[in-house]
Amino acid sequence: MAETPLLYNLRPMTFRAALIAGLLAAGRLAADDDPGPPRDFSVHGQLTYQLQGHGAFDAPYEGANSFQSRKEIRGSFTSTLFVGRRLWAGAEAYVNVEALAGQGLSSVLGLAAPPNGETYRVDSTQLKVNLARLFVRQTFALGGASEQQEDDENQIRGPRGTRRLVVTAGKISGTDVFDGNAYAHEPRTQFNNWSLWANGAWDYPADTRGYTWGVALELYRDAWAVRLGSFMEPREANGLEFDHDVSRAHGDVLEVEHRHTLSARPGAVRVLAFWNHANMGVYREALERAAAAPDVTATRAPGRSKYGFGLNLEQELAPGLGVFLRAGWNDGKTESWAFTEIERTLSLGATLNGSSWKRPRDLFGVALALNGINGDHRDYLAAGGLGFMLGDGALNATAECVFDAFYRASLASFAAVTLEVEHYRNPAFNGDRGPVTVYGLRFHAGF
């Protein structure tokens, strides 16, 4: 059957209407947005359209969860309305409603680090509406100097102290609070690859669309910050329903941050630790039960745990030029549950804005990620086992390597188009398959 050249069989009139309406709204509200006094509300919106494809590549065999070796073209669309309101001194409430549709390359299977950071949110070629976030944030002032909080998505303009305690409760993404990075954190405008916008070894609690329910505490004291959170886990691996037995199914995370300056250039160091509990299976137990056809789902039991650590660095080197590095590890004995099937990761890269060529809103980025798995996970996949993302039927184990480069060209103050190339060696940790290059086109508008 011939490939659909544009995206994902989304009804053309539905998509065009959403695109035009979003652009008109973005243009009107971007023109009205200007600096001013503190506000009691925040209203923002975004829409992102992505089209990605790859050519045929060498693959002597394929399994049920393989990245398809034939030519593919797929895409995704999301549009989000972010609304916030100040309730009383220090308290804010937010709701995000998201419309989404699309399909990832190979149904988001066969790569440990998929190329489209939006496809973990979409699961249908038909346009759907989803409650993405619903939360309350309370800030307690603890003194210190005053700094300005700018108006932004899920952020209301106004002063805040450099010493404060922030409590967030409700439905959010764990990456809203943890693992932030100025140069690699937003797949709609920065690097798109999963192992670049987040720490691939942090199997952060989330449903299929990347959100969860929970609570987070953040303590800021001048250059230091400590964050602690606990969130619900899905009932099934990569599932939409949450496990409500939170005594045995939850994910805890701790992060310590220090912000600094080097030669008057800002930077930050963050260290993260996590400990997840869920109804997970065990790779080694699956192999012991059925070495010829292991099934990790058959070994699931309540209260299983996974722990790991992450390092996150960012540093400005010159005006408009910044570098980042992430490293991560988890024990990898239990099955990957919510994010992706990576147990070791190292990523580094840089971004440069276009000021030197008189296009200050443009952005160029280049990065490299090296991802791996542990011995139990490797043996399980080599024996023909399937995870929720990987499973070629066999495995010549080695690191999955990803090179990502993009150029984001500004069309206006509120819109940009990005061209991106992501080159994979050893997709899904398999030296027998690939290499493969994914080409991408991304349009993003926001107000």
Render pLDDT for 248-293 as a digit per residue (tens, 0 to 9): 999 999 999 999 999 999 999 999 999 999 999 999 999 999 999 9
Name the nearest CA neighbour of 327 among 341, 306, 307, 348.
Answer: 348
CB 130, CB 209: distance < 8 Å: yes
What per-residue confidence (pLDDT) applies to 366? 98
Say yes or no to pLDDT of 88 above 90: yes
Share of the chain above pLDDT 90, in %: 87
pTM beyond 0.85, yes or no: yes
- Overall average pLDDT of the 161-166 stretch: 95
Say yes or no to pLDDT of 75 above 60: yes
CB 43, CB 29: distance < 8 Å: yes
pLDDT in tens, 302-327: 989 999 999 999 999 999 999 999 99
pLDDT in tens, 212-239: 999 999 999 999 999 999 999 999 999 9
- Overall average pLDDT of the 96-121 stretch: 93
pLDDT in tens, 368-405: 999 999 999 999 999 999 999 999 999 999 999 999 99
pLDDT class for 39, splitting at 50, 70, 90? confident
Q: Write out the two tokens for 416.
A: 């940009």
- The residues near 141 (Cβ < 8 Å, ≥ 6 apart) are 90, 160, 161, 163, 164
Of the spans 18-27, 64-73, 114-123, which averages the highest pLDDT? 64-73
What per-residue confidence (pLDDT) applies to 25? 44
CB 304, CB 335: distance < 8 Å: no
Cα–Cα distance measured from residue 443 to residue 447, given in angstroms and rounded to the nearest whole number: 14
Say yes or no to pLDDT of 243 above 90: yes
Cα–Cα distance measured from residue 332 to residue 391, given in angstroms and rounded to the nearest whole number: 16
Distance of alpha carbon 202 from the chain centroid:
11
Distance of alpha carbon 378 from the chain centroid:
24
What per-residue confidence (pLDDT) applies to 38? 80
